[in-house]
């Protein structure tokens, strides 16, 4: 949950004066997204999310994210559409911070996804990859594989504090991931944070994806690896093969994987677990006492790393097939 920026009624009125959306009728801070402040805004014209971008999102990346959302919406993908003001501007400012008004999307995210949800999510992810084809902008993945070893160099002490002996283990993982990291897989726009929180369902069917603020250019199969980690582990830490198979099957209804992509999934999943472990470890150490946001537990991803380390063929289902 996160509401970092407080918007007054006067500031809201000033922002809305640039749009043709009528007068505000209701305005509430909502607990959605960890990186930004989000507000539910109802005006005479409809319902919107006002997202205020906090310092973690680089202002120079915002045009990429907002143009991508607009591109996807215009190419039939169910995602929230940023609203343009009378001068055609999407990226606005409130209280000195960048912000955007985004059309409200109904839908519910699921807390404990079933295999059926995973199938729907896989299909939704493939649709995203296809809808983004031809999008003219690109953004390197600054949290991609090349970034992990340098990131970890600054976090060794935090890892040891979390669990003695962990730093050496992570270094072994990093070497193994670097040695096996695939090259030449099909690339495109990836969501890069396709977690259950960011996917809406309606009546059990995939309805929409939100929160494109990690989207970037990378191997499409890496996006699947992120999603396998996020959707297919049980609360007890075990990997749910049925859910993983369902997710891949759902994905392949829209975009079949190449043999190279499928073969790369184990190391991609190991790497994707590393990426979330490292950022959570960073946030864990960096959060001051008394902060409004409780950081996510890095140990959840440390356990996923351990699963991939112990069973490198797991996501190929080789050891169970």
Q: Which residues bind a copy of itself (CB under 8 A)?
A: 1, 3, 8-10, 12, 23-32, 40, 42, 106-112, 202-203, 289-294
Rounded least distance, CB 289 to a copy of itself, Å:
4
Q: Which residues of 279-293 are buried (b: 16+ CB within 10 A; e: fewer)?
A: bbbbbbbeeeeeeee
Rounded least distance, CB 133 to a copy of itself, Å:
30
- Comparing CB distances to a copy of itself, the nearer of 44 and 133 is 44
- Comparing CB distances to a copy of itself, the nearer of 297 and 319 is 297
| Cα within 13 Å of Cα(25), Cβ side | 9
The closest alpha carbon to 98, from 48, 62, 71, belongs to 62
- Comparing CB distances to a copy of itself, the nearer of 41 and 281 is 41
Rounded least distance, CB 22 to a copy of itself, Å:
11
The closest alpha carbon to 304, from 282, 264, 272, 273, belongs to 273
- Comparing CB distances to a copy of itself, the nearer of 31 and 168 is 31
- Comparing CB distances to a copy of itself, the nearer of 6 and 20 is 6
Rounded least distance, CB 4 to a copy of itself, Å:
10
CA gap 222, 215 in Å, rounded: 12
Backbone region of residue 71 per phi and psi (left: phi > 0; alpha: psi in -120 to 50; beta: other values) = alpha
DSSP labels for 144-177? SHHHHHHHHHTTHHHHHHHSTTHHHHHHHHHHHH
Rounded least distance, CB 19 to a copy of itself, Å:
16
Neighbouring-strand partners of residue 53: 36
């Amino acid at each position: 949950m996160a509401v970092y920026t407080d918007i007054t009624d006067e500031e809201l009125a000033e922002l809305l004066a640039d749009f043709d959306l009528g007068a505000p009728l209701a305005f509430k801070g909502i607990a959605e997204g960890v990186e930004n402040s989000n507000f539910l805004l109802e005006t005479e014209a409809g319902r919107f999310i006002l997202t205020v971008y906090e310092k973690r999102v680089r202002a120079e990346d915002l045009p990429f994210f907002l143009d991508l959302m607009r591109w996807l919406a215009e190419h039939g993908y169910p995602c929230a559409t940023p609203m343009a003001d009378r001068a055609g501007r999407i990226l606005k400012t409130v209280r000195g911070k960048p912000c955007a008004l985004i059309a409200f999307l109904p839908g519910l995210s699921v807390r404990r996804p079933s295999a059926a949800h995973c199938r729907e999510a896989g299909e939704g992810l493939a649709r995203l990859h296809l809808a983004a084809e031809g999008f003219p902008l690109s953004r390197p993945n600054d949290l991609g594989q090349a970034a992990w070893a340098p990131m970890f160099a600054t976090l060794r002490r935090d890892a040891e504090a979390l669990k003695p002996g962990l730093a050496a283990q992570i270094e072994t993982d990093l070497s193994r991931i670097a040695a096996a990291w695939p090259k030449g897989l099909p690339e495109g726009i990836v969501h890069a944070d396709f977690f259950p929180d960011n996917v809406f369902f309606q009546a059990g069917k995939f309805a929409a994806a939100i929160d494109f603020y990690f989207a970037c250019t990378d191997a499409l199969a890496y996006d699947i690896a992120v999603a396998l980690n996020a959707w297919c582990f049980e609360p007890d830490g075990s990997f749910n093969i049925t859910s993983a198979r369902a997710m891949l099957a759902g994905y392949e209804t829209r975009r079949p994987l190449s043999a190279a992509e499928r073969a790369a999934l184990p190391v991609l999943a190991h790497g994707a677990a590393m990426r979330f472990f490292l950022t959570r470890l960073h946030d864990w150490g960096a959060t001051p006492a008394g902060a409004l946001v409780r950081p996510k537990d890095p140990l959840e991803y440390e356990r996923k790393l351990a699963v991939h380390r112990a069973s490198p063929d797991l996501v190929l289902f080789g050891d169970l097939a």
